[in-house]
Amino acid sequence: MLNFLKAKSKTLKVAATAVTLGLASFVSHAEEPIKIGLVAALSGQSAKSGEAITRGLSIAIDEINENGGVLGRPLELVRRDDESNPSKGLLAARELIQKEKVAALFGGLDTPVSLAIVPLVNSLKVPFVGAWAAGTPITRNGAKDNYVFRVSAVDELVDEALVKYAIKHYDMKKPGMILINNPWGESNEKGFKKALAKRDISYTGIERIEASDLDVVPQLTRLKKEGTDVLLMVANVAPSAQVVKSLDRMGWDVPIVSHWGPAGGRFGELAGPNASNVHFVQTYTFTDENSAKGEQVWTALKKKYPEIKTVADVTPAVGISNAYDAMHLTALAIEKAGTTKGKKVRDAFYQIEQYDGLIKDYQFPFTKDEHDALGPDDYVFTHFVDNKIVPIKH
């Protein structure tokens, strides 16, 4: 009888232990996720950009969650489509912050959308991380209490890089600007003027184009008449493609040195056979010979997204790479903050000492005076070849 009672007691203890472990496991898995918001173009001609940012964030989130998440909680991505429209982007950002309670918000391709969101995030004290839009005033917004960070290009720095490239490779002496007629174009106009003035180079003219333009021959004709020897271009996919096709109609073979707008979608297909003539800047591109980190991300992309089979299927890589590094840096900030409270997370960005990323190895990427993690030394020049973005070889 005594042995029976001892055996029964042991069984009950084992059962109790199993229940306790089961409950602990349940509690662990039931931890509320930390929501990460994304406002980007998920439809329309720039949808490829939103897809790329989504993929970069998702691969990073998978890695983070597989390693225990952040603060012991899994990360969860919540997306909204801004349709490249500032008003819709602002509404989406407000919903993600106030309804979904995201701990951090990521931005997409369009500078005008990001500029519309900046005052909101600074007011509500929620970190906003740019993963693509390059408008200089996004991070350098003049706010005394600035919650906007970026892992992407910066117009003023890009414009300097474009001018240097055009002088070195095309002996540029009489540049002409063809710029999208929105705040992004205005941001680059200032950057180009500054870079050219520094070298005492005069420009032949500044022409504006609209996203809806189907023909830009009149603008290009004026620049040609003034003797333009290089076009400095800033526009997203559709208008950039119209520039190339209008040049074809004119029979004008002029070099084009461009911001990264053409990378945001189906530029190779839309611009036609001379798409490769446009040399544009990127922060990263996958190749047949990637770094160890590049190969790791490339393998993860192919596994998660079976439709990815070649480098051409990850156009544009810049959205993936910027978002991937930005997500890891944001996770480090939340972990360092020990909370998801906006001000503490914002301040923790300044405490990040080191991160071995995809684009580069980051050392103190953010300070109170510098909210941009990438600089001109992190840019590479590329072009389209057979609908693939590949580095330019000189």
* Cα-to-chain-centroid distance, residue 236: 14
* Per-residue model confidence (pLDDT) at position 59: 98
Say which CATH topology domain 34-153+289-375 has.
Rossmann fold (3.40.50)
- One fold for 34-153+289-375 and 156-282: yes
Q: Is the confidence at residue 13, as pLDDT, over 60?
A: no
Taking the model in full, what pTM does it have?
A: 0.82
State residue 130 phi and psi, 5-degree precision.
Answer: -80, 130
Q: Which of 19-33, 120-134, 261-275, 332-346 has the lowest mean pLDDT?
A: 19-33
Residue-range domain boundaries for the chain: 34-153+289-375, 156-282
Q: Which amino acid is at 243?
A: V
Alpha carbons 131 and 148: distance in angstroms, whole number: 11
Choice among 5-9, 77-81, 260-264, 297-301 with the minimum mean pLDDT: 5-9
pLDDT at 171 over 90: yes
- Flag whether pLDDT at 315 surpasses 90: no
Reported as a pLDDT band with limits 50, 70 and 90, residue 24 is very low
Q: Which residue has the higher pLDDT, 87 or 10?
A: 87
Sheet containing 230-234: which strands, arranged edge to edge? 205-209, 175-180, 230-234, 256-258, 278-282, 380-385, 388-391
Identify the CA nearest to 345 among candidates 140, 132, 129: 129
The vertex-118 CA angle with 115 and 122, nearest 5°, equals: 165
Mean pLDDT of 360-375: 97
Q: Helix, strand or coil for residue 353?
A: coil
List, for residues 181-227, the tens digit of each pLDDT value: 998 999 999 999 999 999 999 999 999 999 899 999 999 999 999 99
User: Does pLDDT of 8 surpass 80?
Assistant: no
How distant, in Å, are the alpha carbons of 136, 185, 346 from that of 322? 16, 22, 19
Q: Which CATH number fits domain 156-282: 2.70.70.10, 2.40.110.10, 3.40.50.2300, 1.10.10.60?
A: 3.40.50.2300
pLDDT at 263: 82
Determine contact, residues 270/387, Cβ cutoff 8 Å: no
Closest-CA residue to 65 (of 76, 78, 80): 76
Tens digit of each residue's pLDDT (9 = 90 or more) over 39-73: 999 998 788 889 999 999 999 999 999 999 999 99
Average pLDDT, integer, range 305-324? 89
